[in-house]
Amino acid sequence: MNKCKSFEPSINSNSKILILGSMPGIKSLEEQQYYAHPQNRFWNVMGHICHEPLMPQFNYSEKLITLLNNNIALWDTIKSCKRIGSLDTNIKNENPNDIKNLLKNYPNIKTIILNGSKSFTAFKKYFPDLSEKYPCYKMPSTSPANARYNLDRLIKEWELIYSFL
């Protein structure tokens, strides 16, 4: 079982939406980049949301800047855990990130988007008071493991973000 640790948040003072994943997968941890697995649809979905169709081909820093320019922050619900492989179902001994402090330091965040079931359940478990203070939306996971959603269906669901930008 491998020890996994999430990254620092990508956020600035203009961020209005906080997207929370669960824990980066193996490829992301190796690359030290959010959503680095080539089959994860996150960057394709965000390219559509941010009206930047070439976003998946951008370098990593350009992707983060594009999100920030569109008032979207990125982080994970889980700070550390033990896990075999990349599946959220294999997460054990999880510890949450300090999301309360992050929101205190970035008061422009008004909406929280949870990327997938594990992010949602961990958020509800560790931060039940925040889900009463902030509008929180569980979105279908962009992970390739979520085969029930093709890219078009994911984009349609994630377009909810438009109403918060």
The residues annotated as belonging to the active site are 40
The CA-atom distances, in angstroms, between 19 and each of 2, 75, 133 are 25, 6, 16
Helix axes 60-69, 42-49, angle to 10 degrees: 40
Q: Which two tokens stand for residue 45?
A: 């979905």
> Nearest-5° angle of CA 150, CA 109, CA 128?
80
Q: Which two tokens stand for residue 106?
A: 């970035």
d(CA 127, CA 69): 27
